Amino acid sequence: MVNEHALTVSLEEFGLSKYEAQAYVSLIAKGTISAGELAYYSEIPRTKIYPTLLKLEKKKLTIISKSKPIMCTAIAPEDAFDGIIHEQINKVNAMNTLVSNLKKASEESRKSRGSEEKRYFQIGVNNVLAQLQIMIEGSKSSIKIMVDPWGFGLLAECKEQLLSVLRRNLDVKVLVLPTQICSESYRAIPEGVEIRASEITQNCFIFDETELLLVNNTNGEGAIFSSTEILGINQERVFSNIWKNATKTKALADMTKTEAQEIYKIIKTVNETGLMYVLNSLMISKKQGSNILKLLEKNGISFKSKSLDEIIEIMDAIMQITCSGHVNFEASTKNITIESKLNSGHSLPWVSILDGCLQRQGYKTRTIYQNNSNKGKKVHIKITKN
């Protein structure tokens, strides 16, 4: 059902008075009615209804009969407001032309002086989202973003603008906090935007490597730094350094937030101590898989209640994230293949974890390593039930 109050308020923005807006909306809803009926339905005092109708007639929004009682009919909206809409469009176009000419004059003036003006604009909290949407839409080559939950929430409201730049094949990368993986904001970001997780402490939006929007997460205010190549380049370097070591999240996109957070925690724990733990275990024990499982359990991560299929699904996601690889289980041959495109021991902890899980579930395992300097590494685990 159409909200007549909302329509009335909107019409006031078109320049109608409150009574004029109420009368027009009532006429649209009721059709041709008498002036007395209009006063009743629109809740306009009877002493005000005739002056109101005359004003609407002058604005070409209604037709008034010459008969008694006076009957009135609304002009169809598409006819009534067509002229107003075109007038507003012409005004906007004229303003855009004026701004473009002023910008051109400013740039020519700076060039003649052999200098470039550095600009900084502060944005109120109520205008930050609209400004962000404008800057995304106006990007020409790349968008690099570092956001905490506040900034990620703003970005989630820019879906249409992100889709627009993705259709133009722009490179869009986003760094978020690990707690935001598979969150509501995460799922609002369109496919095609690459998202990685790291410990982010600021809200920084970098457009085309030169224009920046910074957002304060304590008060929601923003600041634009425009034509500042040096600041843009420095922030771009900061972003690139964090991005290189951040955790990929694409393989987690279809999981629940709980599942995704668990996998991130596993990766973080193993990345910090896992490889060294495995190498040390190999020197003192043949049960390195069991030892690394104990390491995970110390950090609150347990595989005990998980089925073999669930474990393989987890390990497959981890291999995609850490090694650009996969884990495949061939049920017919009882053979598990762990494939890594990296050849520097990155897959060793994950092989050890999978081997330990299999042994805990009562499987006897035989591991075969297959290295290829050009194609990476494959590990085959042949399993039989004890």
- Res 373 pLDDT > 70: no
- Res 289 pLDDT > 70: no
> 178, 264 in Cβ contact below 8 A?
yes
Q: What angle do CA 227, 241, 277 make, to 5 degrees?
A: 170
Which amino acid, 244?
K
Please name which of 202, 138, 141 lies closest in space to residue 170, comparing C-alpha atoms. 141
pLDDT reported for residue 161: 94
pLDDT tens digit string along 150-181?
999 999 999 999 999 999 999 999 999 999 99
pLDDT tens digit string along 208-262?
888 889 999 888 888 888 765 667 778 888 899 999 989 999 988 888 998 998 9
- DSSP H helical segments within the chain, as ranges? 4-13, 18-30, 35-42, 46-58, 77-80, 82-113, 128-137, 149-156, 159-167, 184-188, 229-245, 257-269, 275-284, 288-298, 308-323, 348-360
Which amino acid, 332?
S
User: How many Å from the N-terminal Cα to the C-terminal Cα in the chain?
Assistant: 67
Please tell us whether the domain made up of 119-248 is placed in CATH 3.10.580.10: no
DSSP annotation string for 314-370: HHHHHHHHHHS-EEEEETTTTEEEEEES--SSTTHHHHHHHHHHHHHTTEEEEEEEE
- Res 5 pLDDT > 80: no
* Distance separating alpha carbons of residues 265 and 57, to the nearest angstrom: 69
Higher-pLDDT residue of 14, 235: 235
Q: What fold is seen in the domain 4-80?
A: Arc Repressor Mutant, subunit A (1.10.10)
**Confidence grade of residue 1 (pLDDT, cut at 50, 70, 90):** very low
The structure tokens listed for 98 are 């004026």
The DSSP code for 170 is -
Please name which of 337, 352, 362, 348 lies closest in space to residue 294, comparing C-alpha atoms. 352
Higher-pLDDT residue of 295, 189: 189
> Checking DSSP bridges between strand 71-74 and strand 222-226, what pairing results, if any?
unpaired
Which amino acid, 137?
E
pLDDT reported for residue 358: 87
- Per domain, the residue ranges of the chain are 4-80, 119-248, 252-385
* Distance separating alpha carbons of residues 20 and 54, to the nearest angstrom: 10
pLDDT tens digit string along 103-144?
777 667 656 555 444 566 888 888 999 999 999 999 999 999
pLDDT reported for residue 180: 93
Please name which of 263, 242, 267, 243 lies closest in space to residue 252, comparing C-alpha atoms. 263
Q: Is the dihedral of CA 289, 293, 296, 301 positive or negative?
A: positive
Share of the chain above pLDDT 90, in %: 28
Higher-pLDDT residue of 232, 56: 56
- Is this prediction's pTM over 0.75? no
3-state secondary structure of 216: coil
* Distance separating alpha carbons of residues 356 and 291, to the nearest angstrom: 8
Contacts of 339 (CB under 8 A, 6+ apart): 319, 325, 326, 327, 328, 376, 377, 378, 379
- Res 190 pLDDT > 90: yes
Domain 252-385: give its CATH architecture: 2-Layer Sandwich (3.30)
pLDDT reported for residue 283: 43
3-state secondary structure of 33: strand
